[in-house]
Each structure stands twice: as C-alpha cells, then as structure tokens.
Structure 1
C-alpha cells in the first residue's frame, strides 16, 4: 500500500507513470523463429502501450533501451533529473554491462491500424508485416566500426547473456520523456554448442554409438559380399562338373559302338 501512495505522489509531482504496468515482450515464435539467436533478440513493438499519453500536435518517438541483467544491480535509470532520456551508448556501457544504453528509436506504432498477422503467409507482405510488428535488438553489425554512423547504434549482443529491455515515449520537440514501460523480463541469448553435444543422428545416438553402428554396417556388407561370392563360385564349379560328366559319357558311347560291330561280324562268319 505504501508503494502505491509513492507512485501516486510521483505522478502528482509531474514525474513519470509507467505505461499501464506493461513491459516489452519477446516476439511471437510464429513470426520470429529461432529467437533469441546467439547475438539478437526480437521484441514486439509497443502497440497500444502509449495511446493515453499521446496528444495532438506533438511529435513522439519510441526509444528502446537495453542492458545486461547483471547491470540492474548497478543502475537501471534511463532518465536524468530534467526528465530527458539518457544518451548512453553501447560503448559507454560496455555493451550494457555497466548500465542501460539506447539501442534504437522508431516511430510510435499505429494502434488504430496494427499489422495483420494473417498477411504473414503472403510472401509479398511478410517483410512489411515483420518490420511493423518486430524490432530485432543486436541486428546491426557495422555501426560500431563507423565513426560517422547516425542515430542509435544497435550492435550484436553477447552470446549466452541475459538482457532486459525498456520502451520510452519521448517528445522529441521538447526533448523530454512522457511515459515508459517497466523493464522486461530477463531474456537470454543462445550459446554455441560444443561439438561433442551436437546431435548428428536422427535417433539421438552418441558419437561412440555412431562408430559402432558404422563398423557393424561395414562388417555386414562384407559378410553379404562374401556370401554372394561363395554362391557364385559354387554355381560356376557345379556347371564345370556337369560339363565334364557330359563329355565323358559321350566318349564312352562312341568307343562301345565298334566293339559291338566286331562281335556281330564274328557270329556271321
């Protein structure tokens, strides 16, 4: 209860109230497969988060801040005493390890006309839908090496590292923050798998099982080849013996005919 009165007091004093207690969310896995990656995390853009804070004639932008989760124990402030957003960079904070840095800024998403998720199946519209719906933190691999890079730098994140994110609604004309979300829940980038842990077989067998299976397969192949070879030589040998027996019977028959004729002639005489 005491915390509730503190929030009301801050709002009454003109400080910032959190946008409906909302926070950045990781992107829908149906739209952002393989998320997070080793160096990126795709977030949903803040649709309909800041509508109550918008006023006609004002120029607003959304600022996205990122920090390593370990930095939350150091400092998570993104606004100075004049209600202006901090201009901390990736380099200033050692990639978010020392505190939050401004990763990006973009137009406030149009709550009245959000992207149609059904258009994702349309190859001609899928790219535009994803750009409207998602923002990928860590997607710029060149800004760190370009001294003249304009705007916020959004370099690759560190692998196997937990991050948090926050959206700010900024009046760019007045240069002050009008609203903000809570810090997101922790989101962790992927890590490189060790070669020994990579599953290289559909049956999820270990490396030793793969070697044993390969050896047994080779032995089975040699056994089958030997069996077929023995059958082949047996057939060839049987055919040769049959041919020799036929020739012997033929010669015996031819030699018996003259003796039969001689005996016949002796009887006649």
Structure 2
C-alpha cells in the first residue's frame, strides 16, 4: 500500500513542477512521517522545476534558502545586485530571524531518470530512494558547533516557529543565479509539549467514558464492601460457635467428678 502512495506521488511531480511559478512544497505525509517535526521540515526536491532553464553542456547546483516568516519584513532577497547568490549563514542571520540563510546545496534532480520506484518496497533501499526525492531542513545538529567546518550548515530549526523556503538554480561556471522559485507558503514546526500537559493515559477518555467509569468504580466498591461484611459476619459466627462449644465442654468436665463423689 505504501509503495502505491509513493508511485502516485512521484508520478505527479513532473506535472506539478511544469509551472515555474510553483513554490517548494512540504513532503506528503505518506512519504515523510512526523513532518514537520519540532526542529525539521521535509521538502520535496525540485524535480522537473528548472528544466526549461537548463542549458546543455553546463553544470548547475540547487541552493536551498530558509528564513523565518517574521524576517520577510526585514529582507527576503537571496541575491546581490549582480545576481550573485547570498552566502548568509545560519549564525549571521540569527537562525533566519534577520533574513534568508543558505541551508543546503545539492545537484539538480534528474527528472528524466529518477530513482527506481520499485526499490521503495525494499526495506533496505527505501531510505536511499526517499533521500533522492526529499530534503529535510534542520537535519544537522553537529556542524553548527564545529569551529573547523566552513561549509553550508543545516542546523535544527526552532520549535513552534513559521518558516519559508526557496530553491535557486545556480550556474556553476560563474556562480550566477539562473532561475529561482517563489518563497514557499509558511510552514510551522511543532510545539514542545509541557510535561504537565502530556496525556499519560493509555487512551483518551471522553466525558461519557469518565461517568461510566466512575459509576462502575462505585458499584465495584459496594460489592467489595458487601463481600467483606459477609466474610466478617461468617468469621464472627464461627468464633461464637467455637466459644460456646468450648464452654459446654468445660461444664461437662467439671460436673463429672461431682457425680462420681455422690455415687460413693
């Protein structure tokens, strides 16, 4: 069933990206579970989106930019006045709060020869296939704190925050922007749940379920109380019977010597 969803989703990518005005799209839930998460967002790569802008015998790279929704009022530009891509980093933009930062670089997806979708049904290959179709923003939590790393950093996103994303096609020969998408619609990461608000019940209970449970609990309590009362009464009766038997036995033993003395 999962394989069918993947096939349908990817077969539609070429048609969806035929319109150059399209934006980066969040990955379908059938392809990426828990998306968005607290600190990541999985996006569909731009398959077939820039085909009309590609020239033969030239090489290109896809730049992925990210920024917080609130940064649009400050700046949403990703090139300078010479169409050169900005190299703003996560640290320089305060995690995207001051403007766009370059989150990733990757090769232009091959629309004519995509990965073999039949491999999606193979548990050993499905991860590699999805990595070729999807990109997870915020998936690198180590390089941000590595002073020796000078490349593009893709640090975790902030929880409960709105982000926008943009793809850019860059000519490797002169590092000039060849084409770009619009900014994506706002995508919000998940909110952290407070420990006091986490539901620890095995399953959620409705109001009627709570009432029924309360009534059954009271009924069980009455049954147990009645049972204990019956047991206590029975035990007391046995004790009284044993005491009467013991008293009668002592009376008989005391009267036997008197009878023997009288007969003498």
Q: TM-score, normalised by structure 1?
A: 0.73
Q: Deviations over 1:172-212 (max 9, x none)?
A: 22211111111111111111123454334423469xx79xx
In the alignment of these two chains, the number of paired residues is 229
Structure-2 residue corresponding to 1:49: 49
Structure-1 residue corresponding to 2:101: 101
Alignment of 1:112-191 (within 5 A): 112-115=112-115, 119-191=119-191
**Inter-partner Cα distance in structure 2 for 1:82 and 1:103:** 21
What displacement does 1:233 show?
3.6
Structure-2 residue corresponding to 1:34: 34
- Whether the 8 Å CA contact 1:19–1:181 is kept in 2: the answer is no
**Inter-partner Cα distance in structure 1 for 2:192 and 2:205:** 19
Structure-1 residue corresponding to 2:192: 192
Structure-1 residue corresponding to 2:60: 60
Change (3 A) 1:220 1:73: same
Q: TM-score, normalised by structure 2?
A: 0.74
**Inter-partner Cα distance in structure 2 for 1:23 and 1:40:** 18
Which structure would you say has the larger Rg?
1
- Whether the 8 Å CA contact 1:45–1:109 is kept in 2: the answer is yes
Q: Deviations over 1:51-96 (max 9, x none)?
A: 1222222121110001111111221111122221111111111111
- Structure 1 segments unaligned to the other structure (5+ residues): 1-17, 249-269
Q: Matched residue of 1:167: which SS?
A: strand
**Inter-partner Cα distance in structure 2 for 1:76 and 1:186:** 13
Structure-1 residue corresponding to 2:225: 226
**Inter-partner Cα distance in structure 1 for 2:236 and 2:103:** 83
Q: Deviations over 1:19-71 (max 9, x none)?
A: 71121000111111111111111100111111122222212111000111111
**Inter-partner Cα distance in structure 2 for 1:186 and 1:117:** 30
Structure-1 residue corresponding to 2:11: none
**Inter-partner Cα distance in structure 2 for 1:137 and 1:126:** 19
What displacement does 1:122 show?
2.6
What displacement does 1:235 show?
4.2
**Inter-partner Cα distance in structure 2 for 1:147 and 1:88:** 17
What displacement does 1:102 show?
0.3
Change (3 A) 1:32 1:117: farther
- Whether the 8 Å CA contact 1:199–1:205 is kept in 2: the answer is no
Q: Quote the RMSD (CA, aligned, Å).
A: 3.3
What displacement does 1:168 show?
0.6
Structure-2 residue corresponding to 1:203: 204
- Whether the 8 Å CA contact 1:61–1:105 is kept in 2: the answer is yes
**Inter-partner Cα distance in structure 2 for 1:152 and 1:235:** 82
